Structure 1
Amino acid sequence: MDTTEIAAPVVGVTVYPDRARITRRGGIHLAAGRHRVRVAPLPLGLRRDSVRVGGRGPATVLGVDVTVWRQARSTDAQVVGLEQRRRELADELAEVDDADGIEEQRGEFLARLVERAGGTYARALAAGDAAPSDVAAFTDSVAVQLAESRARRRTLARQRIELAEESAALGRDLDAAQGKREPDRLAVEVIVAVEVDEADVELELSYLVEGARWQPSYDLRLVDHTMTVTWFGMVSQSTGEDWPECELQLSTARPAAATGVPELSPWYLDRFRPAPPFAGSMDMSVGMSVPPAPAAAASGGGPARSAAVRAKLRETVAEVEQGVSAATYRPARPVAVPADGSAHRATIAVLELPARLDHVTAPVRAAEAHLRATVRNTSEHALLPGPASVFHDADFVASTRLPAWAPGEETELALGVDDRLRVERKLSRRVETKATLGSTRRREMEYRITVANHTPRPATVEVRDQLPVSRDEAVVVRETTIVPSPVERSELGELIWRLSLAPGDSGEIALGFRVELSKGVELTGWRE
């Protein structure tokens, strides 16, 4: 059989979170008989078991062979070294992505562990089957693991940036070294054996390729009580072949994830044996760590907002096809994606979601009130986790990371400090008694928390404070004054009040406690 090469350009790409399916299509006129049709060059990252051949015309596919197409390599030592380093960079980037995925799963596991263990410890404490020290040891252990995992993810993020920068610089060096001549390379070829009557035949070839990905990115813009969520798909690839402007689809499916049905292992119960305490301890801060926003971010008015309202531009969004376990999005605008690892943005959806606003303050940490939006996903879209830029009207407030957000689910977004709510926490009473023979020492504290609403509209303010928690039976903490009663409290001493304040109004909270120390006991962990 004779071998005929066919021009089959890329006509469609479906990008998954960690790979892509490429579709090529081309036509050819063949005489009657058997022929071998060659499609080349194809990327080395092609998965051979994923190759599929179809098409139209009076032809029968007799077989498909996937082989490596070898071209003579350049004798230029510099070019050879650069090409070798480019392959190494691709492997290193894949390793970083794999490690980051493992750390993300580790963080999700620890979060679920804490959520489940919270109820278990609460019941055990109430029944007297566990001591506060057990809870502290568990929380310290989880905190250390979470901190280490997040530190590793930050390190991996820096490595990814450094590798991407090195890859871009290496590409420029390769272009300079190779000049205008076609680079030598090692590629894959597909040979399709067909039997036809004399006719025009159209062949369609599809395959999965590694080195491609898409990641979600968001703009979150609050105007009045509506949160506009603009969902972008950031597409990048380093597969070795450029993608022209063609039919691009973004799929949430994970082809490699469904490897089998999970099997159950035995469920053992045993006596709890507490681990030795760690040297570090978890910061039990109750405040919201949010970058301070400009004053205009909380003002809700001014020229910036008027300009934002006037600039109502329509934006094209992707068509969506909801599957059984995944969704596929087709951006309205074709996107060309070169194989240089750079990200190219496509708009997936623009969602108008209702938002509920309130304020949160933890004056024991900082005398500031943070504006918070609680937003419900009323759309049909299951939003994937990804980075988000938060805006209040036209003002940038903060960068955050949006968690996985299912339809009907609520999430909270911090919108910066609102300086028009004034918060003050003062020590109003302090009494300390010295121990006499056989007696205990006592230390009494009382605080006054004042919140004043200087905004032009009613405000709901969530106030967070805490009582100290004893880890030793020789240190006893007793409440003396809590007015008004908190709406929520935890086993670890956290107290929550919710104040409804009219414009110009203020609210006050009194919080007092007493610490009793056995004779000869020295107190640690004290703060005022």
Structure 2
Amino acid sequence: MNPSSSNGATTFETPPPFQHAHTIELVSVEDGKITGVSVYAGRAEVSRLFKFAVEMGQNQVTINGLPGVLDQDSFRVEGRGAATIHDVTISTISEPAVPSTSPALKALQSKKQRTQKALRRCKKSIGSVEAYLTTLHVQHIDMAKLGQVMTDYNATAEQLDERLLELEQELNDIEEEIVVECAELQGTAIDKKLNLRAAIGVFAESAGEVEIVLIYAVHGASWDALYDIRVDMETKEKPVTLIYKAAITQTTGEDWSDVPLTLETATPTFGLGLPALQPWNLSIYRSSSHAYAGGGGPFGSSDAAVMASAFRRASRAPGSAIPPPPPPQASLQPAPLAPMSHRGLIVSSRGNISATFEVPGLLTVPSDGVAHNVTIVQLYLDAVMSWVCVPKKDPRMHLNAKIKNASGFTLLQGNASVYVDGSFISKIPLPPVSAGENFDCSLGLDPSIRITYHPRSTKTSKSGFYSKTDTQVMSQTITLFNTKSMAVDNIKVIEQVPVSQDSSITVKLVNPAFSADLPGKNVQVSGGVIAQWYEADEPGVDPTSLGKDGKFNWVCSVPAQKKINLALQWEVSAPVGANIVGLY
């Protein structure tokens, strides 16, 4: 109060009357509209817009029905209009006490009891009439009065039957009314998934309409990458079509209806900081057995004093077992509110660490826990096809594609359904693939390239004047038949020869004849066929390690509707009569 004087008298100004805050009650799913959802792996960030009228001065806005899986540390409020946001609190909506009865319910229950008693009486009357009819005998009734007796019976029974039906229907109606009354006593049930309330203080400079946006993270939402890989074997340029899809799942309690959706590959780390290293000290452990040197019992008095002093020093030492007090926890400061921006409905990717996909159009994802698939983008990629087989173990030809991700999009880890020429082949796991990176994709079996693994032939000879030696020459033939109408290049046939584990056994690969001086060099076997040690074409391989395991392969080109033969021959030499283990 401010005092003032007039004509020598002191007066006090009357304070303005206290103004109560204007109360505004809103329901989140009814009065708010979701303007955007960003889905991460394991959570989502939701932006919900509210428009309402405020009065000049203090307004208390209460928004009920926010999801219970809301991360309260992420909750923030932004607004538009001539007003100021003062305070924001979040609380749990408590379930109101439900009355167990009411005058109307008591009246219905009494009416039900009366109807049940009337129904029992009616059934008993019907039973009595039926029992009376069974007691009548012909010798006790005049035949002239028999017709009247039956007429009276039918009339009475008909009246009782109609009464029985009326009472049964009346009882059913009363029970339905009781159910309705009990439901009204329960009131509007609180959805346990939408059991949070936000209270927001808004001070308005003038009456009018304002807008506030609630931005919050929720658990129970995620998306996984899915792919369709479609390969056209007749196409030379960009034979692979990769359809990048997302499977979105959410059980947050609120439906996302017709919302702009953004898929994020980054993982939010709320409050996660760099861990701090604690002091790491060393000390020498001294056993307590040194205290037994004194007399007068197990511990001398001077020894006990020494031990107590040592214990006190150890407790104060940096390397003692008593841990130092924990560092004070840093206070959590709310993040500054970022200005709102309007994004275009495009698909985008940024950076090498994370990618953002802004899916075109509006999507609806209900809170049902079911995966809802949406196509992110369709990519046309180059690929190098290769055919690989190990005919010694399996004569079937495997088809493989080395695909280059030249799209500029980051491909996340996920499952891929593979189709070749329109036919489903298999489902394979796809590893994470960065932009510009190559990845291998198995395309299943190709039955159009037939392989025949002929029986092996063996010839044995003896040599040596003083030291007799048995030499066995093994020959193997493999036939490739390309039944396609086009030539097939880059067919890899993997084979092996045995490796000696004994100095008295010698193994020599005769055909194909690799050079001992140039272990990494390919051997031209014939036109369209080269031989090389296994993994010789892998980057960074050590040439001196090639052939140590006896594995090698041919790389072949087979014309359309043609066959080629691959010849393998090797020699095994050992002392005469030696029993060689593992030769066959």
* Contact in 1 for aligned 2:496/2:550 (Cα 8 Å): yes
Instruction: Give the TM-score normalised by structure 2.
Output: 0.57
Is the aligned partner of 1:450 residue 2:476? no
After TM superposition, list the pairs within 5 Å mapping 1:245-284 onto structure 2. Answer: 245-256=258-269, 259-260=272-273
Measure, in 1, the Cα distance between the counterparts of 2:531 and 2:275: 44
1:369 aligns with one of 353, 376, 397? 397
Change (3 A) 1:199 1:181: closer
2:249 is aligned to 236
Is the aligned partner of 1:58 residue 2:58? no
1:217 is aligned to 226
Change (3 A) 1:497 1:196: same
2:562 is aligned to 505
In structure 1, stretches of 5+ residues that fail to align are 77-177, 265-316
Q: Secondary structure at the match of 1:419?
A: coil
The one-letter code matched in structure 1 to 2:561 is G
The one-letter code matched in structure 2 to 1:207 is Y
Measure, in 2, the Cα distance between the counterparts of 1:474 and 1:328: 65
* Contact in 1 for aligned 2:494/2:553 (Cα 8 Å): yes
Is the aligned partner of 1:185 residue 2:205? no
Measure, in 2, the Cα distance between the counterparts of 1:180 and 1:467: 82
After TM superposition, list the pairs within 5 Å mapping 1:293-308 onto structure 2. Answer: none
Report the alpha carbon displacement of residue 27 of structure 1 after superposing the two structures with TM: 1.0
Change (3 A) 1:32 1:419: same
The one-letter code matched in structure 2 to 1:201 is V
2:488 aligns with one of 459, 464, 487? 459
Measure, in 1, the Cα distance between the counterparts of 2:424 and 2:471: 49
2:32 is aligned to 8
The one-letter code matched in structure 2 to 1:486 is A
2:386 is aligned to 358
Q: Deviations over 1:78-130 (max 9, x none)?
A: xxxxxxxxxxxxxxxxxxxxxxxxxxxxxxxxxxxxxxxxxxxxxxxxxxxxx
Q: Secondary structure at the match of 2:432?
A: coil
* Contact in 1 for aligned 2:226/2:247 (Cα 8 Å): yes
Measure, in 1, the Cα distance between the counterparts of 2:512 and 2:244: 45
Change (3 A) 1:229 1:2: same
Q: Deviations over 1:129-183 (max 9, x none)?
A: xxxxxxxxxxxxxxxxxxxxxxxxxxxxxxxxxxxxxxxxxxxxxxxxx999745
1:157 is aligned to none
After TM superposition, list the pairs within 5 Å mapping 1:298-337 onto structure 2. Answer: 319-324=346-351, 325-337=353-365
Report the alpha carbon displacement of residue 411 of structure 1 after superposing the two structures with TM: 2.3
2:67 is aligned to 43
Report the alpha carbon displacement of residue 350 of structure 1 after superposing the two structures with TM: 0.8
Report the alpha carbon displacement of residue 259 of structure 1 after superposing the two structures with TM: 4.2
Report the alpha carbon displacement of residue 342 of structure 1 after superposing the two structures with TM: 0.2
Report the alpha carbon displacement of residue 405 of structure 1 after superposing the two structures with TM: 2.0
Is the aligned partner of 1:67 residue 2:91? yes
Measure, in 2, the Cα distance between the counterparts of 1:373 and 1:504: 23
Q: Deviations over 1:221-269 (max 9, x none)?
A: 12223211111111001122222121111111211399456999xxxxx
Report the alpha carbon displacement of residue 377 of structure 1 after superposing the two structures with TM: 1.7
The one-letter code matched in structure 2 to 1:14 is S
Quick one: higher RCO (CA 8 Å, sep 6+), 1 or 2?
A: 1
Change (3 A) 1:258 1:365: farther
Rg larger for: 2
1:479 is aligned to 509
* Contact in 2 for aligned 1:54/1:203 (Cα 8 Å): yes
1:349 aligns with one of 377, 394, 407? 377
The one-letter code matched in structure 2 to 1:462 is K
* Contact in 1 for aligned 2:396/2:450 (Cα 8 Å): yes
Is the aligned partner of 1:424 residue 2:452? yes
Report the alpha carbon displacement of residue 59 of structure 1 after superposing the two structures with TM: 1.4
User: How many residues in Structure 1 have an aligned counterpart in Structure 2?
Assistant: 374
Measure, in 1, the Cα distance between the counterparts of 2:90 and 2:32: 16
Change (3 A) 1:373 1:51: same
* Contact in 2 for aligned 1:72/1:185 (Cα 8 Å): no
2:436 is aligned to 408
1:195 aligns with one of 180, 183, 203? 203
The one-letter code matched in structure 2 to 1:5 is E
Measure, in 2, the Cα distance between the counterparts of 1:511 and 1:204: 75
Cα RMSD of the aligned pairs, angstroms, is: 3.7
Is the aligned partner of 1:339 residue 2:359? no
The one-letter code matched in structure 2 to 1:503 is A
2:551 is aligned to 494
Measure, in 2, the Cα distance between the counterparts of 1:189 and 1:219: 43
* Contact in 1 for aligned 2:347/2:360 (Cα 8 Å): no
Moved more, 13-22 or 320-329: 320-329
1:159 is aligned to none
Is the aligned partner of 1:26 residue 2:71? no
Change (3 A) 1:233 1:374: same
Report the alpha carbon displacement of residue 501 of structure 1 after superposing the two structures with TM: 1.7
Moved more, 460-469 or 254-263: 254-263
Measure, in 2, the Cα distance between the counterparts of 1:471 and 1:356: 39
Report the alpha carbon displacement of residue 462 of structure 1 after superposing the two structures with TM: 1.2
Report the alpha carbon displacement of residue 52 of structure 1 after superposing the two structures with TM: 1.3
Q: Secondary structure at the match of 2:73?
A: helix
After TM superposition, list the pairs within 5 Å mapping 1:41-190 onto structure 2. Answer: 41-72=65-96, 182=189, 184-185=191-192, 187-190=195-198
Measure, in 1, the Cα distance between the counterparts of 2:577 and 2:275: 57
Change (3 A) 1:238 1:476: farther
* Contact in 1 for aligned 2:85/2:201 (Cα 8 Å): yes
* Contact in 2 for aligned 1:335/1:344 (Cα 8 Å): no
Report the alpha carbon displacement of residue 31 of structure 1 after superposing the two structures with TM: 1.2
Change (3 A) 1:63 1:501: same
Instruction: Give the TM-score normalised by structure 1.
Output: 0.62
* Contact in 2 for aligned 1:453/1:501 (Cα 8 Å): yes
Change (3 A) 1:438 1:58: farther
